[in-house]
Structure 1
């Protein structure tokens, strides 16, 4: 290890070390006892394999063992690769140059410490792991005869296993951790144990990994601070109207429907990256729905309730507050799925049915919104009959799904970035997590009402009925996405692991109104929250929407920077001239209830 003896080696204070270990032992004992008591109480209702992983791997193993010749061939291939690695490592140890046999994928930050390349031993450990990890995943992926769902599940959980065994996750095989341990006299490991216990205590025996400094942010203090007022509320949502930033505004106001899987302030983090603030500065009168964090009292709330009490009541309140009957609407993620379903309903309903006239909605904008769930990405791993039954049983106990359950699912999709990087930083290096507004929001999870969530998972994710004409009925009205005639702007993200862009693109082939499709670089959040001032990423446009999304991308034009100005140029043409005197919250028929961001968003899921 090249850096092993660099820096001063700190000798730990034995008295302080003894006190720290005694405190750790006492806290650990209490956590373990509390956890065991809870497990004993839950034991009769606890399922051994709620994710139905065992059967998937049994199927995979059975099919793999039916072809022993292929297994032998694969083992010989791995052996040959190891011979190459040993030869390469031996050359380096003798002072010769040698190209690596395998290198980390681009963007893999686990091996960023220079010692992973400079030190022959750690370079061998790294390459040995990468070779084995790649070989395991390839063998699993090439097993023939499994159905698509089983194959996807096996691939996913094999990757979880492989990621967990990375040498960077262990003290003795991580050069940075070893160096820090020597230099601090083991203080990093003691601090890491304290951090681990803090997270276990906060999770009441379950590990709730701290991703950011939770004390560094305050909703309404230094995030979600764009000035505005709550002008309407019901049991499902509060409606926020924001203070104008220009003397005159566009005639048509803008309503934003965020997802209720997370809190709305992803669109209003801080001044430098707030989409809400930026939209207000363009001369738009902006309204945002802030969804309630539901408890057992709202267990029976349905997808229809989110449409009528959420979208429709917010739209009516907005028109009452501004005096304008026409408006533009944005739906983000699940909010976009709700918007698409609602628009199909509005185009099919009778005049006496609930909801505004579809002609009142001048345009719709969809941010990373799924409508065709046949390409739902790796989230589909969690959707099968056995898992849905287990989830529904769990939700029936309390009437909702715990926010942590959804958060853990999303974190597993990017385990190296959202789980193991924090294990290394917090527990092995003993550091406090860095204050990061996006990760604070990510940790501020919300619950999901049992009835609504079951409908959403079964009817959309499992059965993919939303894309099927008449497949879903809302308020007694069979809906068909092809009935949507409203002009639409669709934004998807190329690296989106939650709403894969090829699945979101499907709406371009169903909606009958004009559709402008934009593809942003990066993922589900960073692809959307990309202010022009940041100068990050890029986006693609294409004047045509062919049936095949790959054809769309092949013929698309790439543009540097943020897509926000592109959207504003489009929405400005749908909003009327910027000649209307600025509207102040409370200046219309609806009087303010409280200051933004309101009280609903402050309710924690714990």
Structure 2
């Protein structure tokens, strides 16, 4: 039985195997000689030792910094002066603590630094220890930044590595210099250290065996999480499409298609019943479809960005249009899924396909010139190294990706856990969001290489150089109303980078900024304490406002942003109707199996 045909013609197939037996990707320069296999094998082997970080990239950054520092005697004098002033300030602080009961600190931690908030750090000698550390940390920041001639990228790399080394040597991480650990050890006669040793052995055994962290077994998809009722109504080699069962007698006429990021499993948007965005939408009368991505392996190395568009977004749109005929579609893209959805919207606009009713982007970037601290790991040297690792494996492993994300927030994701679980001997209570975060997926070689080169490094999409099906696409062609959500403390998609969606020419844009990070800010159900957001609408054709003035002009509103977005969806609706059928068997979309399907369970 014939299915609706996608507007993007199928790509030529490619045989499985090593990259040197594959046709070059459409974006590659074909007359450049491929690197010798021996070079790639050496880089891949080194990557297993260096955590996928290119030694050459680090060396280039440090050479750039060191050479420019060497020829900047004014900078020497400045950092020497700062060292003397900090030493004098610390000496005065030490003297005052010997004679006064309450002495204000000589330096305060950064607002996001929670390591020294306990009262135990305010007593001698631990007040001196942590103040000396913070002064030293500040001095190294001054020394690694502000040197004329150093490229901004190299400066960021050097400063980042210095910060990581300092975090490693923080007094919090050692028994003798951490008063909380010393107090616990005295109080428990050392049993906390014994429990910590047992925790370490257990975690190491699970890591070696390739098992997920302890606690994830309490959040299994289809059992405790991802349990909103639905059916898989379409499957291909890359996706399953889930249609969720209606929960109301009447539903909004326009269905919703959600495109999640494929770097993680889809169910961050369908976590536990109390914080499931899918359940929230279904309970308010929306017909919701969700893409669940296949977890790639070495046999999927040939999948590229066009394949993700054709087999992913466009195939899903065809299915939704067949199941809910005669209706336009509200589309939602999260993170990478939002970037891919933007590409699809631009392509559909170019070929005059008007099936989209609206487009919502959740923490999704379209311009990558200010893409946050992830750009620390993106330059020509690093990408060449990473490509060779992926060429050898056929994919980028989830452990290799997780390491980079953990380094960006080493305070919270590495060292605080080391102290809590190995020195204090406790076990943190696992949450559904933490379990989801540990359930990562792999990235196929060709797609990830193309994504990093063309989007992160060259910014081809925002510049109008990106080609799909051999034709360049422009985000400026999009006329679909846009609702863009950013989060205040996002280290993956910084909010000012997401805000650049306002720079494309003609769409009607509603921009919303909520508190929280890349994940927790999106999973912001009504009733979640401490939530607030700012929102403003910019009609098509009105002047641009810069992000700093936008924040000043739009006061914060307490509460979850979900109701505000759902109200916006209702404004772009054509009314209520009877729920559509689950699937459309006569059109080739039968009910294959209950949600969450099989792709989400792939390891």
Query: Of 73, 90, 111, which residue of structure 1 is paired with 2:116?
Result: 111
Does the 8 Å CA contact 1:299/1:451 hold for their aligned counterparts? yes
Counterpart position of 1:295: 297
Query: Of 578, 582, 603, which residue of structure 1 is paired with 2:579?
Result: 582
Query: Of 516, 522, 525, which residue of structure 1 is paired with 2:519?
Result: 525
Counterpart position of 1:339: 341
Deviation of the 1:563 alpha carbon: 1.3
Q: Residue 251 and residue 427 in structure 1: after superposition, are their counterparts in 2 closer, same or farther (change >3 A)?
A: same
Counterpart position of 1:362: 357
Spell out the pairing of 1:163-562 with structure 2 (5 A cutoff).
Answer: 163-204=167-208, 210=213, 213-349=215-351, 358-469=353-464, 471-544=465-538, 546-562=544-560
Deviations 1:275-315 (A, max 9, x none): 11101111100010000101111110010111111011111
Deviation of the 1:324 alpha carbon: 4.0
Q: Alignment RMSD, CA only?
A: 2.1
Give 3-state SS (helix, strand or coil) of 1:542's partner.
strand
Q: Residue 584 and residue 535 in structure 1: after superposition, are their counterparts in 2 closer, same or farther (change >3 A)?
A: farther
Deviations 1:370-391 (A, max 9, x none): 1111111111111111111111
Counterpart position of 2:163: 159
Deviations 1:23-48 (A, max 9, x none): xxxxxxxxxxxxxxxxxx98993167
Counterpart position of 1:563: 561
Deviation of the 1:537 alpha carbon: 2.0
Does the 8 Å CA contact 1:367/1:492 hold for their aligned counterparts? yes
Deviation of the 1:162 alpha carbon: 1.9
Of 104-113 and 490-499, the range deviating more from structure 2:
104-113
Give the whole-Å Cα distance in 1 for the aligned partners of 2:405 and 2:598. Answer: 26
Give the whole-Å Cα distance in 2 for the aligned partners of 1:69 and 1:323. Answer: 70
Does the 8 Å CA contact 1:258/1:335 hold for their aligned counterparts? yes
Q: Say yes or no: does 1:88 pair with 2:93.
A: yes
Spell out the pairing of 1:126-145 with structure 2 (5 A cutoff).
Answer: 126-145=130-149
Give the whole-Å Cα distance in 2 for the aligned partners of 1:280 and 1:44. Answer: 46
Deviation of the 1:478 alpha carbon: 1.1
Q: Residue 109 and residue 44 in structure 1: after superposition, are their counterparts in 2 closer, same or farther (change >3 A)?
A: closer
Deviations 1:514-566 (A, max 9, x none): 11111112221122111112143211123346252223223223211111111
Does the 8 Å CA contact 2:366/2:462 hold for their aligned counterparts? yes
Deviation of the 1:221 alpha carbon: 1.1
Give the whole-Å Cα distance in 2 for the aligned partners of 1:486 and 1:80. Answer: 57
Deviations 1:55-82 (A, max 9, x none): 2122212222323453244234223323
Counterpart position of 1:45: 45
Deviation of the 1:184 alpha carbon: 2.6
Counterpart position of 1:596: 595
Deviation of the 1:588 alpha carbon: 6.4
User: Which TM-score applies when normalising by structure 2?
Assistant: 0.87
Stretches of structure 1 that go unaligned for 5 or more consecutive residues are 1-40, 350-356
Give 3-state SS (helix, strand or coil) of 2:359's partner.
strand
Q: Residue 325 and residue 73 in structure 1: after superposition, are their counterparts in 2 closer, same or farther (change >3 A)?
A: closer
Counterpart position of 1:23: none
User: Which TM-score applies when normalising by structure 1?
Assistant: 0.87
Deviation of the 1:401 alpha carbon: 0.3
Does the 8 Å CA contact 1:213/1:432 hold for their aligned counterparts? no
Does the 8 Å CA contact 2:75/2:147 hold for their aligned counterparts? no
Of 79-88 and 405-414, the range deviating more from structure 2:
79-88
Of 457-466 and 155-164, the range deviating more from structure 2:
155-164
Does the 8 Å CA contact 2:502/2:509 hold for their aligned counterparts? yes
Q: Residue 546 and residue 140 in structure 1: after superposition, are their counterparts in 2 closer, same or farther (change >3 A)?
A: same
Give the whole-Å Cα distance in 2 for the aligned partners of 1:506 and 1:88. Answer: 46
Give 3-state SS (helix, strand or coil) of 1:145's partner.
coil
Q: Residue 582 and residue 44 in structure 1: after superposition, are their counterparts in 2 closer, same or farther (change >3 A)?
A: closer
Give the whole-Å Cα distance in 2 for the aligned partners of 1:406 and 1:474. Answer: 27
Q: Residue 272 and residue 296 in structure 1: after superposition, are their counterparts in 2 closer, same or farther (change >3 A)?
A: same
Does the 8 Å CA contact 2:196/2:424 hold for their aligned counterparts? yes
Deviations 1:354-398 (A, max 9, x none): xxx631111111111111111111111111111111111100112
Give the whole-Å Cα distance in 1 for the aligned partners of 2:74 and 2:110. Answer: 30
Give the whole-Å Cα distance in 1 for the aligned partners of 2:43 and 2:279. Answer: 49
Does the 8 Å CA contact 1:321/1:586 hold for their aligned counterparts? yes
Give the whole-Å Cα distance in 1 for the aligned partners of 2:601 and 2:578. Answer: 32
Of 544-553 and 176-185, the range deviating more from structure 2:
544-553
Give the whole-Å Cα distance in 2 for the aligned partners of 1:510 and 1:366. Answer: 14
Query: Of 64, 70, 75, which residue of structure 2 is paired with 1:70?
Result: 75
Give the whole-Å Cα distance in 1 for the aligned partners of 2:103 and 2:118. Answer: 20
Counterpart position of 1:11: none
Does the 8 Å CA contact 1:542/1:557 hold for their aligned counterparts? no
Give the whole-Å Cα distance in 1 for the aligned partners of 2:201 and 2:254. Answer: 52
Deviation of the 1:209 alpha carbon: 9.6
Give the whole-Å Cα distance in 2 for the aligned partners of 1:98 and 1:185. Answer: 32
